[in-house]
């Protein structure tokens, strides 16, 4: 039988702070989850930059990446992503050069152009607000230059960073980063776990316009997916209500810590709010193992994704672990089924 390699699975952890807990609790759970993910065969473990959000503990993203990489052995650890307009490219090159020096061939640097927060907080972060999403291509070029070997004309150097192979990814929820990633021949990750509307369009633009580079010979697309897997469909749908409440709170501009699940959302939202939340969370796998298997197969067929970046805003930590474990089991069974099909042809 010809063995079909399993679909690469990765995790985006938002280091969620549950209602009634502290950031330290969330960060300790993050490391524990990464250790489990390593055992279950996940390829990457990414953390994202968010600021002024009471429910997310990964604001100092580079610091948390170092914490996770230091507590694991083989899994790739990285940013999904660093919001580059918030920072000097040199500082990011030094930070990720340091991480790559400490944990060689295990660090990823995913980059976004959004602020990762509200405008008031963005101003507090940047001070000089002339650096924004419009300067992203120039900032990216500057960042790339710091990772290249030193030239005689290069007066400013990233130490550590210079000459190191830190893989860069472009992240996005629209077509801007898709076009830029295609132009530069970089891997592309689409944030379909919270902004699914442009998923297919962005993937088409990326693949149709891709230019081979020293980094990639062919396009490589990762998509974000919410995963709420449990022993039964009913339990998975109940767990899913924590994420639905979070989106509802965002609509109402009252974000906070992750709420516990509820038996029904019907009394909590209006029909218009329900429709909006359903649309924004449509790229989700929710159900028992067989249900998730069918949903995953359909998603791969619809998108042609090269890799899945799973995230799970599940209140109960044990249930959260089990959700990621089920997804890994489903991935393995899908690979076995493909191998058997190939052998029959």
Residue 2's pLDDT is 45
Residues 158, 1: Cα–Cα separation, whole Å: 49
Residues 268, 259: Cα–Cα separation, whole Å: 13
Interval 134-171: pLDDT, tens: 789 999 999 999 998 877 777 888 889 888 989 999 99
Residue 115's pLDDT is 66
Residue 176 belongs to what H/E stretch?
helix 176-184
Residue 341's pLDDT is 41
Is the pTM of the predicted complex or chain greater than 0.75? yes
Residue 211's pLDDT is 97
- Outline where 194-270 has alpha helix (H): 199-208, 233-251
Residue 90's pLDDT is 95
Strand 284-287 with 44-47, pairing: unpaired
Interval 17-57: pLDDT, tens: 998 899 999 999 999 999 999 999 999 999 999 988 888 99
Q: Are 299 and 244 in contact (CB under 8 A)?
A: no
Q: Are 179 and 209 in contact (CB under 8 A)?
A: yes
Residue 19's pLDDT is 86
| C-alpha 127: how far from chain center | 27
Peptide bond into 159 cis (omega under 30): no
Residue 1's pLDDT is 38
All structural domains of the chain, each given as residue ranges with its CATH number in brackets, are: 9-227+289-344 (3.20.20.30)
Answer left, alpha or beta for residue 279, where phi above 0 means left and psi between -120 and 50 means alpha: alpha
Residues of the chain with pLDDT under 50: 1-3, 339-345
Give the 3-state secondary structure of residue 59: coil
Q: Which residues pair with 78 in a beta bridge?
A: 46, 108
Which own/partner contact pairs does 24-32 have at CB distance under 8 Å and 24+ positions apart?
26/57, 27/57, 27/64, 27/67, 29/317, 30/57, 30/58, 30/64, 30/67, 30/68, 31/67, 31/68, 31/71, 31/72
């Amino acid at each position: 039988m010809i063995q079909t390699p399993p679909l690469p699975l990765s995790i985006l952890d938002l280091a969620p702070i549950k209602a009634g807990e502290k950031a330290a609790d969330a960060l300790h759970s993050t490391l524990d989850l990464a250790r489990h993910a390593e055992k279950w065969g996940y390829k990457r473990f990414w953390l994202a930059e968010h600021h002024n959000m009471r429910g997310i503990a990964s604001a100092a993203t580079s610091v948390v990446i170092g914490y996770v990489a230091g507590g694991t052995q083989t899994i790739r650890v990285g940013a999904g992503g660093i919001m580059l307009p918030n920072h000097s490219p040199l500082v990011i090159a030094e930070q990720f050069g340091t991480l790559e020096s400490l944990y060689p061939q295990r660090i990823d640097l995913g980059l976004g152009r959004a602020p990762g927060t509200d405008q008031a907080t963005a101003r507090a972060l940047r001070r000089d607000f002339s650096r924004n999403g419009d300067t992203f291509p120039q900032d990216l070029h500057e960042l790339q230059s710091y990772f290249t070997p030193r030239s005689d004309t290069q007066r400013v150097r990233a130490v550590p960073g210079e000459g190191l192979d830190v893989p860069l990814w472009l992240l996005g929820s629209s077509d801007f980063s898709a076009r830029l990633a295609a132009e530069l021949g970089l891997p592309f990750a689409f944030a379909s776990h919270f902004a699914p509307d442009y998923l297919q369009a962005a993937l088409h633009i990326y693949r149709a316009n891709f230019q081979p580079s020293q980094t990639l010979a062919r396009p490589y697309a990762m998509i974000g997916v919410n995963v709420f897997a449990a022993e039964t469909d009913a339990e998975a749908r109940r767990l899913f209500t924590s994420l639905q409440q979070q989106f509802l709170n965002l609509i109402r501009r009252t974000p906070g810590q992750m709420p516990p699940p509820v038996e029904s959302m019907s009394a909590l939202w209006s029909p218009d709010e329900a429709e909006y939340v359903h649309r924004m969370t449509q790229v989700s796998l929710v159900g028992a193992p067989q249900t998730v298997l069918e949903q995953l197969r359909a998603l791969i067929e619809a998108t042609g994704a090269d890799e899945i970046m799973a995230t799970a805003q599940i209140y109960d930590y044990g249930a959260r672990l089990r959700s990621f474990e089920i997804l890994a089991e489903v991935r393995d069974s899908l690979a076995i089924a493909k191998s058997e099909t190939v052998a029959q042809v």
